[in-house]
Amino acid sequence: NAGVTQTPKFRVLKTGQSMTLLCAQDMNHEYMYWYRQDPGMGLRLIHYSVGEGTTAKGEVPDGYNVSRLKKQNFLLGLESAAPSQTSVYFCASTDVRGGGTGELFFGEGSRLTVL
Amino acid sequence: GESVGLHLPTLSVQEGDNSIINCAYSNSASDYFIWYKQESGKGPQFIIDIRSNMDKRQGQRVTVLLNKTVKHLSLQIAATQPGDSAVYFCAEKRSSGYSTLTFGKGTMLLVSP
């Protein structure tokens, strides 16, 4: 059971370059999320999706775009990377719809360094 | 290793001791509170949750206590083991809107053999 899979796991970019992080889940979950994690900051929500074809902004959306063309995939894009986007990015999914425990299933993370 | 542990509050215990990790939350309207465990280099993993109309919930070796009067949440781990060493996050789920969680900054638990 793969659960939530993120690719790539590591990436180094130069300022101004673009890239896409891919998240794939095989649990048929409706909701998917992208978080970033920085030292001493906990996890902060970037964007999320409540179903195929839908996306919404989270707490820190600036500088990122997302797409959910297929239910199982959630892509996070950086059009012009900045050093402030150096972070560990986590994708998560859940099958809760506005109620229940809110248990999220997380991927292993993608470490991005922007030079 | 993962640098998420830098600048975090740290709790150091001996193997076999009971551990108590505390968390203050901000929103009185939150309807669920959840604890996650994050081991080095891995994604967070769900431990236990508690609904806002409860004050205590027990799991296997873990107990969560909720004090709504002072907006305080705690996670108690009985007979702490070296495998419990990790960063622990509390999270709150707001009652309105979709299922988004707001995470606390985390506490690092270090268990010595």
Any idea what DSSP says for residue A19?
E
Among A74-83, A96-105, B74-83, the least confident range: A96-105
> Which of B80, B57, B61, B72 shows the shortest CA–CA distance to B26?
B72
Task: Note the pLDDT tens digit of each residue in A27-79.
Answer: 999 999 999 999 877 899 999 998 999 999 999 999 999 999 999 999 999 99
A71 contact partners, CB below 8 Å, separation of at least 6: A28, A30, A51, A52
Residue whose structure tokens are 């960063």: B87
Q: In angstroms, what separates the C-alpha of B110 from chain A's closest C-alpha?
A: 17
Tell me whether A47 touches chain B (CB under 8 Å): no
Rounded Cα gap, residues A10 and A21, in angstroms: 10
pLDDT, mean over chain B: 88
Q: What is the pLDDT of residue A18?
A: 97
**Closest-CA residue in chain A for B101?**
A102
Average pLDDT of every residue of chain A? 92
For residue A48 the two structure tokens come to: 């999320």
The pLDDT value given to residue B31: 84
For residue B75, the one-letter residue type is: L
